[in-house]
Chains A and B, each alone.
Chain A
Amino acid sequence: MAVAAAPTHGGGVADHIHPEPHSFIRRYIFSIDHKIIGIQYIVTAFLFMVMGGLLAELIRVQLMNHSGTFVKPDTFNELYSIHGSTMVWLVIIPLLTGGFGNFVFPLQIGARDVAFPWLNMLSFWIFPVAGLMLYSSFLMGAPVAGWTEYPPMSLLGGPGTSMWAAAIFLIGVSSTLTGINFLVTILKMRAPGMTFTRMPLFVWGQLATAPLLMIATTALGAALAALFIERQFGVPFFDPTRGGSPVLWQHMFWFYSHPAVYIMILPAFGMISEIFPTFARKPIFGYKMIAFSTVAIALLSFMVWAHHMFTSGMAPFLQLPFMILTMFIAIPTGIKIFSWVATLWGGKIHLTTSMMFAIGFIATFTFGGLTGVYLSAVPFDLHAHGTYFIVAHLHYVLVGGSLMAIFAGMYFWYPKMSGRIMNEFWGKVHFWLFFIGFNATFIPMHWLGLLGMPRRVAVYDPQFQFWNQFASISSFVMTAGILVFFINAIVSLRTGKKAGANPWGARTLEWQISSPPPYYNFKKVPAVLAAPYDFAEPLPYRGLEGELDPNVPAPVAAGH
C-alpha cells in the first residue's frame, strides 16, 4: 500500500500526511493535529476566562461600596493580580495564538499541519498545567502586586508569588515553542504559489506575532527566573537594600509586556481583515499597506517599552524618544483602521453576528487606541499614571479590541471547527448585551481616573461611588452577554444549522474544504495563483476540484 498515492506535487516535508488517529486518546487528548490542538486551546482558554471573569465580578462587587467589606484588602489584591494574569496569559494570548492561530493559519496556507506537530502538542499541554499552577497560588497566599508584580512589593508578597513566577515562566516556554513552530511553518510550508503577497492577512498577523512570541517571551522568562531565584534563594537582583534595582524589573518586564500587547492585537487585526471583505463582499482595501503596517507595528513594539516607566525615574532625554516612538505606532494602526473603513465603504454589508462584532471592534478599539496616544504624552501620563484611566484604556484595547475580535472570530470560524453555525439570534443578543455592558462599565473609569481615583484599591473616596456602582452593574450586563455566548456555543454544537463547506462565501483556502476539515486537511495540496480577496474573480486556486467530492479518495498516510 506504500506505493498507492504518490504526492502529486514534488512532495517535500510539507506534503507529509500523518496516519489517521483511531483511539479516542490519540484523536482528542494527546492529538498532534493542529486543528484539534487549536480547539483544545480555545476550550481551555474559555474555561480560564470563566475563572478570570469570576474574579473580575468579585472585584466589582467589592467596589459597589466606597468602604466595601465584601473581601479583605489583601484578598482584593490577590483578586486583581490573578484576574490580570489570567486574562493576559491564560485567555487572550492562548486564544489568539495557540487557539485561532493553530486552527486557522495552517489551513489558510494550504499545509497539512504545522512544522513540528509533537512540539505543538507539548506547547498545548504546558498551558493547562501552568494555569493550574497559577490558581494553586491562591492556596499558599497569592501574589498581591498586580499582574506586573513590581518589586519590592513582589519580593514581599506571599509564597504564591514564586508559584506565579514559575507558572508564567512555563506559559512563556509554551509561547516560545509556539512562536518557533509557527514561524517555520509560515516561512517554509506554504502551498506552491503562495508568495508573501498572496498570503491571507490573518497569516500576516501570525507571521508578525510569531517572532514576538519567540523573542519577547524569552526576555520575560529571564526576568521571571530572576524574581524566582531572588525570592527562593535570596540572590539579589531587584532588592535595592542589597544593591539590586526595582527599576531593572520594570525594564525587563515591559521589554516583554509591551510587545505582548501586540501579541494580543496583531492576530486580532488579522481576523478583522478576513471578516470585513467576506461580509462586505469587496476586496480588502490596501492589502499591502495592511500587511506592511502589521510588520511595522511588530518592529516598533520593541522600541517603546519605557513609556510604561515615565514615573519611575528616567532621564528626561530618554523620555522624549520613547514618547515619540510610541506616537509613531498610531500611524500604522491608523492605516489599518482607514483601510478597514474603506473596505466597508460601498460594500454589500451582511450584518451577521461576526460582522457586528467586527464593526464594534473598530469603534471600541479606535477609542482605546486614542487614549493610548494621550498616555504616550509624558505630561498627560504623569497625571494619569496609576489611576483608573489606565484601567479604562487597557480594557478598551484588550476587551474592546482583542476580545471583541475573538468573538467575531468565534462566530466566523465556529462553522469550520464544528460543522454547524452558531445561533444568530442569540448571537445578536450576546453582541448587544456585551457591547452595551462593556462600554457602560469602562467609559466611566476614564473620568474616575482623571478625577484621581487610583487603581488597585479596595476602598476609595465616597465621591467616586456613583460611577463605581454604575460600572459594577454594567459589568453584570456584560457578563450576562458572555454567558449567552457560552450557552449558545454549547447548544449550537447539536442544534446549529449545518454549515456546509463555505457558509459565508469566504475565499481563503480553509473554506474550500469540508467542515470540519478531515485530518489530512487537503486531498491534494492546491496551487495558489493570487491573493484571495478579489470577489469579482473566480477562486485563485488550482487542484481543489476533488476536495468536496466523496468519490475522490483520501490521500494515503506516509511513514510511522
Chain B
Amino acid sequence: MAISVSQIPHGDPNVDQLYAETRDLRLNGFLLFMVSDLVLFSSIIFAYLYLRNSGQGWPPPGFSRLDVAFAAFNSVVLFGSGVTMHFALENWKHGNFIKFANWMVATIVLGAGFLSGQGYEYWTLYQKMHVSWSGSGIFGASFFTLTGMHGFHVFAGVIYLTVLLLQATNGKYTQHKHFGLTAGTLYWHFVDVIWVLLFSIFYLF
C-alpha cells in the first residue's frame, strides 16, 4: 500500500513533530559514550568472573579475603560525593551559585579522599600481603585491573569536576545553559554505579 504523495495534507504532523524533537545532541552523545564505557567495564568484569569460576576456588589458595570494613568506609566516602554532586547541580539550577561552589568543593574533596583510601589499600595489600598486579596470578590481575580502571575514572572525574568548577566561576555557564555541569554530574554518578558493581563482586561475594 503505497502512500500517495498527493494524499498527504500540507500540515503533515510528522513533518512538524520530528523537527521539534531535535534537541541537544551533546547529551545524547555523552550518554552513548557512557554506554560504551559501561561495556568496557562489563567485559573486564566478565573476564574476572570467568577466571574466578574456572579456577580452584576463590580467593585462590594463599590469599586471604580483602578487608571489607575499610573498603565499605571508603565506599561511603564515594557515595557521599555522589550526594554532594547532586546538591551542587540542584543549587546551580536554582541560581544559588555560592552554594553550588561549596557543594562542588565538597565533592572534589570526597573524590580525592576516596582515591587516597584506595591508595592506602593498595599499599597495605602490597606491603603486608605481597599482592601485586603481575605477581599474584589472576587474583592480583583482576583486582588491580578493575579497581585501577575505576580509580582512573575517579581521578579523571576529580580533574574534570575541578575544571568545571573553574569554568563555572568564570561564567562559562548560565542557570539554564549548563551542559558541562549536567555531563559532569552524569559521569560522577556513573562512576558511583560502577563502584557498586565492583564492591559487590570483590568484597561481598
The interface of chain A, by Cβ under 8 A from chain B, is 9-10, 12-14, 115-116, 119, 176, 179-181, 183-184, 187-190, 192-195, 214-215, 217-219, 221-223, 226, 229, 233-237, 242-245, 248, 251-252, 255, 283, 527-531, 534, 536-540
Q: Give complex CA distance A488, B16 in Å.
A: 45
Contact check, A9 vs B5: say whether CB atoms are below 8 A apart. Answer: no
Q: Is the CB of B29 within 8 A of A193?
A: no
Report B53 CB to chain A, min CB distance, Å: 10
B29 pairs with A236, CB closer than 8 A: no
Q: Point out the residues of chain A lying under 8 angstroms from B25, CB to CB.
A: 13, 115-116, 184, 188-189
B132-143 to A contact mask, C-beta < 8 Å, 1/0: 011001101100
Q: Could you name 20 residue pairs across A and B whose Cβ atoms are closer than 8 Å?
A: A14-B22, A116-B25, A116-B26, A183-B32, A189-B25, A190-B18, A193-B14, A193-B18, A215-B39, A221-B40, A222-B40, A237-B51, A243-B55, A244-B51, A527-B15, A529-B12, A530-B3, A534-B2, A536-B2, A537-B4
The reply to whether A540 and B28 contact each other, CB–CB distance below 8 Å, is no
Collect the chain A residues with CB atoms within 8 Å of residue B134's CB. 233-236
- Known contacts A188-B22, A189-B25; is A537 also within 8 Å of B51 by CB? no
Complex interface: stretch among B42-50, B70-78, B153-161 = B42-50
- Asked whether, in the complex, the Cβ of B138 is within 8 Å of the Cβ of A218, the reply is no
Bound CA span A235–B48, Å: 13
**Bound-complex Cα distance A151 to B88 (A):** 48
Shortest distance from the beta carbon of A35 to any chain B beta carbon, whole Å? 19
Determine if B120 is an interface residue (Cβ-Cβ < 8 Å): no
Most B CB contacts (10 A, CB to CB) among A10, A188, A194, A255 go to A188
In the complex, chain A residues whose CB is within 8 Å of the CB of B51: 237, 243-245, 248
B18 touches A195 (CB 8 A): yes
Bound complex: CA A540 to CA B14 (Å) = 14
B85-125 CB mask vs A (1 if < 8 Å, else 0) is 00000000000000000000000000000000000000000
Question: B44's contact among A217, A226, A233, A540, by CB below 8 Å, is which?
Answer: A226
Whether A115 contacts B19 by the Cβ 8 Å rule is no
Contact flags (1/0) for B35-73 with A, using CB distance below 8 Å?
111011011101100110011000010000000000000
Contact B137 A242 (CB under 8 A): yes
Q: Cβ of B39: which chain A residues have Cβ within 8 Å of it?
A: 214-215, 218-219
What 19 new A-B contacts, CB under 8 Å, besides A243-B137, A252-B43, A530-B5? Answer: A9-B19, A10-B19, A10-B20, A116-B25, A184-B29, A184-B32, A192-B19, A193-B15, A214-B35, A219-B43, A223-B47, A226-B44, A236-B138, A237-B47, A242-B138, A245-B51, A528-B15, A529-B15, A534-B2
Complex CA–CA separation, A484 to B35 (angstroms): 44
Q: Is B203 an interface residue (CB 8 A)?
A: no
Distance between Cα atoms of A179 and B3 in the complex (Å): 32
Report the nearest A residue to B55, measured CB to CB: A243
- A188 near B21 with CB under 8 A, answer yes
CA separation between A178 and B19, bound complex, in Å? 24
B15 → A minimal CB distance (Å): 4
Contacting pair A218 B40 (CB below 8 A):
yes
In the complex, what residues of B have CB within 8 A of residue A116's CB?
Answer: 25-26, 29
Cβ–Cβ < 8 Å partners of A534 in chain B = 2-3
Question: CB of B204 within 8 A of chain A?
Answer: no
Task: Specify which chain A residues have a CB less than 8 angstroms from the CB of B15 in the assembled complex.
Answer: 192-193, 527-529
